[in-house]
Amino acid sequence: MHLNLTQPEPVRAPMAAVFANHLLLAEYIHRSANDFAVVCAEVDVAGQETTLERARDRLDTVVERLYSLAAIQRLLQPPELEVMDLGNELGDLCHHHAQARFAEQGVFVQLRAANIELDSERGWALLMIVSELLTNAARHAFERPGGFVKVDLIRCGEELVCLVSDDGVGMGGHRPAAKPRMGTAIVQELARNAGIRMNAHHCSIGTMFEMRMPLLPN
């Protein structure tokens, strides 16, 4: 069973791109504020440690988290080159998300990626979508320590296929139904504008998102 989230559409009006940019800006401001709040709380906890050694160890963890959060932001800057090594970029993105968002939860991030070169505009959109899916998984998928997130990037004929899956609570979960989040709107808008077909699969355990697009732009 799966839920179709997006379908490719004809070239959209410029206002659609403006709307997507506004969504991105609003979400990044919100996300950055949350990240800074978490880091500040961790620094405060470090200041309450009973020994200098324990405080230093906790601050080392904070520094690693800040470094990874900054690295994610750098990776998601609009690209300057025309073509990107998508597998390599995706590997760096997953590594830094693992350090910044999943390490404290004891959740492992596993990547399997083919060597795929893609035009930078569509590759950037896919990286943005994967980053948002990883962030949402870190925030909502796991109710207790432990678990995994898998990211697969493969060729399938003339298409690129990217899968993001986890073994968390799933979209139904055991929690009250949540209102649609801004992150979902961002993912949908990015996918539409890049011509990415996206499906959310309801699994027996966890959730899997499937993204498909042609290897060559139309």
Q: Say which CATH number the domain at 98 has.
A: 3.30.565.10
Q: Report how far residue 37's alpha carbon sits from residue 88's, in angstroms, rounded to the nearest whole number.
A: 30
Residue 76 has a CB neighbour count (10 Å cut-off) of: 17
So what's the pLDDT on residue 148? Answer: 95
Continuous segment of H or E residues that includes residue 21: helix 14-47
Domain count, the chain: 1
Find the mean pLDDT for residues 170-194. Answer: 67
Find, among 182, 32, 215, 8, the residue nearest to 115 by Cα. 215
Domain that holds residue 57: 2-214
So what's the pLDDT on residue 120? Answer: 94
Q: Select the more confidently predicted residue: 189 or 181.
A: 189
Q: Which of 45-49, 94-98, 133-137 has the lowest mean pLDDT?
A: 45-49
So what's the pLDDT on residue 98? Answer: 95
So what's the pLDDT on residue 62? Answer: 82
73-131, pLDDT tens digit by residue?
Answer: 899 888 889 999 999 999 999 999 999 999 889 999 999 999 999 999 999 999 999 99
Q: Report how far residue 115's alpha carbon sits from residue 25's, in angstroms, rounded to the nearest whole number.
A: 31
- The answer on pLDDT for 193 being more than 80 is yes
Output 53-59 pairs: Cβ under 8 A, ≥24 positions apart: none
So what's the pLDDT on residue 95? Answer: 96
